[in-house]
Amino acid sequence: MVSAVRARPQDPAVVALTDLELPRAWPDYVFRRVGASFRFLRTLLLGGRSVELPPELEGREELPEYLLREFHRMPNGYYSQTLANGYERGFERAMLGKVAAVRTWMARQLRECHAVLDIGCGSGKVAGAVAAAGVPDVWGIDASLYQLKIAARAMPTLQLVQGLAERTPFSDGRFDGVTACFLFHELPTEAQDAVLGEMRRVLRPGGRVVIAEPSVEQMHNRSFISLWRRHGWRGIYFRLLALMVTEPYLEQWHGRDIPAWAAAHGFVVEMDESDLPFRRIVLRRL
């Protein structure tokens, strides 16, 4: 994995990403190479296959197989410069601009904390919101250097590291808050367990995990008519969005019994509320 400036004893190296030259992945050649353009269209229209990592990409051998599925109909997933930039904007738009509010809510839950880790931080928006809420020591970790580079450019003061959610490089009890925004539904069951276990390890007793994920209602519990009555056209929109976007592990996440899952990993559920388009969960470490 990439390393650069050491922040302080025991902490991992903060990655100096702003000027890091990342290798191009195949979507970075769209409109320049016929093969790449054809493959791009194919993924958008028919769904994806496997992510292809450039051979020079640092840390590539540590990425688990499930991360290398091309879901969301997103050409090469989180692994290209072109799509990392596009994803960041596309996610906000596809969610009708509602993600900003949920990130602010997440940050508000942890504003009394001293040290917070945003896991699967992507372009760093949650970490940025937590820092803006006044938390002095904020870290972000993500598997994709392409995503992290966007975060670093937008918020140069964030402390960012490349790594896996299930095996972070932080010491036991390092944080009093952890966030995960739209991470768990992208993980298979075993990885969900490993990540919650890792959250417990890096949290001090009494620390909190704040989670935002797609709502259950988006896919289950309601017919189209009931969604229309309750949410108008937005209800129909979010159901269609969920049906269109390939999410191989969504059902494994929706099938979770959250109180039992939390208890099995040494947490208690403080809040679990679901409404379109988000489910918001707060856990406290025992």
Site residues, ligand SAM (CB under 6 A):
67, 78, 91, 120-123, 125-126, 142-144, 147, 164-166, 181-183, 186
**8 A C-beta contact, residue 208 and residue 109:** yes
- Closest CB to ligand SAM among 98 and 284? 98
Cα–Cα distances in angstroms (integers) from residue 112 to residues 116, 130, 199, in the given order = 10, 10, 18
Residues with Cβ within 8 Å of 63's Cβ and at least 6 positions away in sequence, in order, are: 53, 143, 164
- Closest CB to ligand SAM among 15 and 121? 121
CB of 112 to ligand SAM, least distance (A): 21
DSSP E strand boundaries for the chain? 5-6, 13-14, 115-119, 137-142, 159-162, 175-181, 203-214, 267-275, 278-285
**Coil/strand/helix, residue 218:** helix
CB of 230 to ligand SAM, least distance (A): 25
CB of 48 to ligand SAM, least distance (A): 15
CB of 68 to ligand SAM, least distance (A): 11
Cα–Cα distances in angstroms (integers) from residue 159 to residues 104, 141, 144, 145, in the given order = 19, 9, 15, 13
- Closest CB to ligand SAM among 26 and 78? 78
CB of 205 to ligand SAM, least distance (A): 24
CB of 147 to ligand SAM, least distance (A): 4
Q: With the CA atoms of 126, 128, 129 and 134 taken in that order, what torsion angle do they form, in degrees rounded to the nearest 10?
A: 130
**8 A C-beta contact, residue 123 and residue 144:** no
φ/ψ of 44, rounded to 5, equals: -65, -40
Q: In the 8-state DSSP scheme, what is residue 50?
A: B
Q: Which residue is nearest to ligand SAM (CB)?
A: 122
- Closest CB to ligand SAM among 147 and 215? 147
**Coil/strand/helix, residue 89:** helix
- Closest CB to ligand SAM among 37 and 60? 60
- Closest CB to ligand SAM among 36 and 107? 107
CB of 136 to ligand SAM, least distance (A): 21
> Of 99, 121, 284, 261, which is closest to residue 192 (Cα–Cα)?
261
- Closest CB to ligand SAM among 163 and 207? 163
Q: In the 8-state DSSP scheme, what is residue 254?
A: H
